[in-house]
Amino acid sequence: MRYDLSDRLVVGIASSALFDLTEGDAVFREEGEDAYRVHQQAHLDDVLAKGVAFPFVRRLLSLNDLAAPSDPLVEVIILSRNDPDTGMRVMRSIEAHGLPISRAVFRQGRPSYRFMPALNMSLFLSANEADVREAVAQGLPAGHVLDTARVDDEADPELRIAFDFDGVLAGDSAERVFQSSGLEEFRAHEVRNAATPHDPGPLGEFLAGINRIQRHEEEQRRKDPAYRPRLRVSLVTARDAPAHERAVRSLGQWGLRVNDAFFLGGVDKAAVMSALDPHIFFDDQVSHLNGTAPATPSVHIPFGVVNTPPAGPS
């Protein structure tokens, strides 16, 4: 029977983002592919430790209890450079951790992100920066998961997701104004265009899928007043007044929403993240993520002008 992905939130994830692959990667780099294959076979039943994106994925999949088991809201699919043989350890670890992930793409030595459109994915997460940059260059919504020390508090049922705005939820047209003309012209430009929505950015469709799940939670709360929503979305941006208005109005005109908004006007995001404690934070600027990544699972979206290398001399 055909399994339709079109009405689900589909996330692709590399095993490097889901699990800690430090040991196996070291074998691959130092001893080569053959030794890596031997290592993975020898450790086939050794369960891989949780990676940076594991708490996010586990909580996201837990939201499937809002729907019938035969019609889940969320689908997570492995996209891997492993071959099927070495990928067996990944699949056994998924089973051992109790994650309801049954679908995977294994492409020996080749990137799998090109299958994102075929699988209706609105997000791909990987610790392989080169794969992510190539995917984004092809117009696909992908994020580089940065190394973060994180303990998964399994007793906490809430899933907190935080987004930057420009270059993440929105395109980078306003950022281009800021880069070329400075802060005051950026603010003036945003005031002049407050009623004109931005073009959606790379993670706009992902937020739309998150909002669909939030509507299921609202329906559940209407049926059961004791139900406590588990999914919370925050906007954390360097914008401040008066440039905040266009961001808020753009979200509304796209039909999207967030629960919280932080308009920081240059205040360090790391301190806010420490208090907010999201399970994942998406930003397009490495300078922001260098501060958040030590304590907050952080994802770099290498999109737009701030991630375009300067042109060399002609």
Q: Is the dihedral of CA 238, 269, 135, 104 positive or negative?
A: negative
CATH class of the domain defined by 9-145: alpha beta
Arithmetic mean of pLDDT over the chain:
91
Token output for 259: 């629960």
Q: Using CA atoms, how far apart are residues 26 and 113, in angstroms rounded to an integer?
A: 24
**What are the sequence ranges of the domains in the chain?**
9-145, 159-307
Residues 6+ apart with CB under 8 A from 123: 11, 12, 141, 142, 143, 203, 206
Vertex 246: Cα angle to 240 and 251 (nearest 5) = 110
Work out the pLDDT band at 118, boundaries 50, 70, 90: very high
SS3 state at 126: strand
pLDDT at 151: 62
Predicted confidence (pLDDT) at residue 150 exceeds the cutoff of 50? yes
Tens of pLDDT along 198-220? 999 999 999 999 999 999 999 99
Q: Using CA atoms, how far apart are residues 190 and 185, in angstroms rounded to an integer?
A: 8
Better-scored residue on pLDDT, 30 or 21: 21
Tens of pLDDT along 42-101? 788 889 999 999 999 999 999 999 999 999 999 999 999 888 887 899 999 999 999 999
Of 15-24, 190-199, 226-235, give the lowest mean pLDDT range.
15-24
Report how far apart, in Å, the C-alpha atoms of 56 and of each of 155, 259, 282 are.
14, 18, 12
Work out the pLDDT band at 8, boundaries 50, 70, 90: very high
Tens of pLDDT along 236-281? 999 999 999 999 999 999 999 999 999 999 899 999 999 999 999 9
Predicted confidence (pLDDT) at residue 233 exceeds the cutoff of 60? yes
Q: Which of 266, 247, 265 is nearest to 257 (CA)?
A: 247
pLDDT at 93: 95
Predicted confidence (pLDDT) at residue 152 exceeds the cutoff of 50? yes
Provide, rounded to the nearest whole percent, the portion of the chain with pLDDT above 70.
95
Tokens 């993975």 locate to 40
Residues 6+ apart with CB under 8 A from 243: 174, 186, 187, 190, 191
pLDDT at 108: 86
Predicted confidence (pLDDT) at residue 314 exceeds the cutoff of 70? no
pLDDT at 1: 67
Element (H, E) at 306: none
- The predicted model scores a pTM of 0.94
Domains 9-145 and 159-307 in one fold = yes
Predicted confidence (pLDDT) at residue 20 exceeds the cutoff of 80? yes
The domain defined by 159-307 folds into Rossmann fold (3.40.50)
Tens of pLDDT along 158-180? 999 999 999 999 999 999 998 88
